[in-house]
């Protein structure tokens, strides 16, 4: 029995594509067929009927547009391959070359595929995010039916390979860190105007940058171009990872949240959603994550279940909301501490035995529910009115009803004790709450940059502590997260974003 050269799955003799990963099963073409060396392009010979090539892969040494020298094939799917190449114009820098091959018998489908590919190439060239590979160039060989994207080469492998390397399961802390990166880039693309919905999130489309160890989102747009013979893939996603609404032709930002939840379920439990694509997340009939892998925490199980809810409105409200839940999980796994957020008018997410409150509001155009920080509506694409993130410090250990201080949404707020004759008038005056002058006159300050809050110790005598354990170094700003507890001398405060 033959095996797929890409993923190792068994295949049937004569199958043009792998039923497991979609990779072409044809052997590479003979190097003599393609132009190697100083030719205009390196292309594959086309034989047989229609637009289906008998030789699929570019051979090592093939030269594209007198610049990109193919080194080897490193991946791909039913619509083409991905190659490692050398950029001969830039000191043989390693690049990735993605190829789409026309495989459409229907002319209308062919025209749409080409137009979509061009649009996606131009779109990717405009995106700028550390988790999206940089696009260097795109070019087409329309007479040969081939279309190319040249982009940054990511050398750390994909999450599917990482999972196989660990025996089929990945620990919760590692997956949680990956989830944070994934939500960060999803939030970025979902808040573009108009929003970009990835549609085909799965372990094979998330890679690790070997230099930064950051999760990278790859294969934008190409996942839409699906060969008619490729198994297990819809026109807009992969069976098992694709949410129910995609099969009805509906797509929105929370569709990607479902796919990310399915991806993390697979990574942590070792159970591939493609094995039971229609029913695996019906937890009334199928095992929950902890029944498959008891090492998963109860709170992580609840996060996964929420992410893969059948109805989009029951999932996390946004990638940003999902990312906040991941951050709470990694904090607990690393530090073992619990804390609460309690602003008003929030969407509730349960995690780590407490309630994380995610702010929500409604789109001014279509009325759909959004996260409070969304700049654009993920459903209709309209820009939302500008908002300012506000925060406050609540004094703990006092019976005083109004023992709290509003933090200015701009600039800096000094925390200390008032000394008028010396011109020291802190915005957060702790004089009445600080016994025996344990709080310095200029103890610390809160800095606001955009929607992010920082705290910096100003060389206080008794120090500034975060969450009971970490002492701040003088002059080094530290990111504040809603729910953080601060201790200045003997005075305790809670930082809350509202």
Closest CA to 196 of 263, 247, 127: 127
Please give the Cα distance from 433 to 243 (Å, whole number).
Answer: 53
Please give the Cα distance from 115 to 110 (Å, whole number).
Answer: 9
Closest CA to 64 of 103, 100, 94, 38: 38
Exactly one of 200, 256, 373, 457 is catalytic; name it: 200
Contacts 24+ apart (CB under 8 A), 36-44: 36/61, 36/62, 36/63, 37/61, 37/63, 38/63, 38/66, 39/63, 39/66, 40/65, 40/66, 41/65, 41/141, 42/70, 43/141, 43/144, 43/146, 44/144, 44/146
Backbone angles phi, psi at 374, to 5 degrees: -65, 130
Q: Tokens 């790859």 appear where? A: 218
What DSSP string describes 1-40? --B-TTT--B--TT-SB-TTT--B-SPPPPTTTS-BSSSS
- The 10 Å CB-count burial string (b at 16+, else e) for 233-267 is beebbbebbbbbbbeeeebbbbbbbbbbbbbbbbb
CB 364 within 8 A of CB 385: yes
Report residue 383 as tokens.
Answer: 């820009």
Alpha-carbon dihedral 446, 447, 453, 458, rounded to 10 degrees:
-50
Closest CA to 274 of 202, 226, 174: 202
Q: Tokens 């910096």 appear where? A: 456
User: What is the distance between the terminal CA atoms of the chain, rounded to a whole angstrom?
Assistant: 61
Largest CA distance in the chain: 92
Residue 402's CB: how many other CB atoms inside 10 A?
Answer: 7
Report CA torsion sign: 366, 358, 216, 80. Answer: negative
Please give the Cα distance from 214 to 129 (Å, whole number).
Answer: 12
Integer CA distances (angstroms), 457 to 396, 436, 454, 463, in order: 20, 19, 10, 7
Instruction: Confirm whether 128 is a catalytic residue.
Output: no
Please give the Cα distance from 249 to 83 (Å, whole number).
Answer: 32
Residue 40's CB: how many other CB atoms inside 10 A?
Answer: 11
Catalogue the active-site residues: 200
């Amino acid at each position: 029995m033959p095996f797929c050269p890409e993923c190792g799955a068994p295949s049937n003799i004569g199958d043009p594509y792998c039923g497991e990963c979609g990779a072409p099963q044809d052997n590479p073409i003979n190097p003599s067929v393609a132009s190697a060396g100083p030719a205009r392009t390196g292309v594959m010979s086309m034989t047989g009927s229609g637009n289906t090539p008998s030789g699929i892969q570019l051979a090592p040494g093939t030269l594209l547009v007198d610049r990109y020298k193919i080194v080897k094939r490193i991946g791909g799917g039913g619509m083409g391959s991905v190659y490692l190449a050398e950029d001969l114009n830039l000191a043989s820098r390693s690049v990735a070359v993605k190829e789409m091959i026309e495989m459409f018998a229907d002319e209308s489908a062919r025209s749409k595929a080409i137009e979509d590919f061009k649009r996606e190439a131009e779109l990717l060239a405009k995106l700028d995010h550390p988790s999206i590979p940089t696009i260097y160039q795109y070019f087409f060989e329309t007479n040969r039916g081939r279309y190319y994207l040249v982009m940054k080469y990511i050398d750390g492998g994909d999450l599917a390979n990482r999972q196989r390397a660990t025996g089929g399961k990945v620990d919760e802390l590692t997956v949680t860190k990956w989830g944070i990166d994934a939500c960060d880039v999803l939030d970025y693309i979902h808040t573009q105007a108009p929003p970009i919905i990835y549609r085909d999130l799965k372990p094979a489309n998330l890679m690790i940058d070997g230099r930064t160890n950051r999760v990278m989102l790859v294969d934008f747009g190409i996942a839409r171009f699906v060969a008619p013979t490729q198994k297990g893939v819809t026109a807009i996603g992969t069976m098992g990872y694709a949410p129910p609404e995609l099969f009805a032709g509906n797509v929105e930002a929370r569709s990607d949240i479902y796919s990310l939840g399915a991806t993390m379920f697979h990574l942590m439990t070792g159970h591939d959603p493609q094995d039971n694509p229609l029913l695996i997340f019906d937890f009334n009939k199928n095992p929950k994550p902890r029944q498959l892998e008891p090492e998963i925490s109860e709170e992580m199980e609840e996060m996964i279940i929420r992410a893969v809810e059948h109805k989009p409105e029951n999932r996390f409200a946004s990638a940003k909301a999902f990312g906040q839940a991941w951050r709470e999980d990694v904090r607990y796994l690393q530090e073992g501490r619990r804390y609460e957020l309690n602003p008003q008018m929030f969407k509730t997410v349960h995690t780590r035995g407490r309630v994380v409150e995610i702010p929500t509001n409604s789109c001014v155009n279509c009325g759909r529910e959004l996260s409070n920080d969304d700049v654009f509506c993920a459903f209709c694409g309209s820009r939302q009115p500008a908002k300012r993130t506000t925060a406050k410090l609540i004094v703990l250990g006092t019976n005083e009803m109004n023992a709290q201080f509003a933090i200015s949404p701009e600039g800096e707020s000094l925390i200390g004790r008032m000394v008028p004759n010396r011109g020291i008038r802190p915005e957060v005056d702790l004089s009445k709450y600080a016994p025996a002058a344990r709080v310095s006159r200029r103890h610390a300050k809160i800095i606001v940059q955009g929607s992010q809050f920082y705290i910096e110790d100003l060389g206080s005598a008794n120090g500034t502590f975060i969450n009971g354990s970490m002492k701040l170094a003088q002059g080094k700003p530290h990111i504040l997260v809603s729910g953080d507890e601060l201790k200045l001398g003997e005075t305790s405060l809670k930082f809350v974003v509202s």
